Amino acid sequence: MENRVKEIRTKLNIQQKDLAQLVGISRQTLSLIEKGDYNPSLKLCFNIAKALKTDLNTLFWN
């Protein structure tokens, strides 16, 4: 799944480890999500979007 997690996270100057901790996952899992190699649950998608102060459409869909 293509997403903009890394793009938005870096714009907000948030470290991967910090975002991962904020949403309750490992840094490795976040890395896989950013690469599109892991399909997060809907709940995790909501948590990531909330932590990045954005919405699901902006984060996960074009």
* Dihedral-angle region of residue 16 (phi above 0 means left; psi in -120 to 50 means alpha; beta otherwise): alpha
Q: Within 13 A of 60's CA, how many CA atoms are on the CB side?
A: 17
Q: Residue 44, class by beta-carbon neighbours within 10 Å (0-12 exposed, 13-18 middle, 19+ buried)?
A: middle
Mean pLDDT computed over every residue of the chain: 94
Predicted TM-score (pTM) of the model is 0.91
Comparing 1 with 34, the larger pLDDT belongs to 34
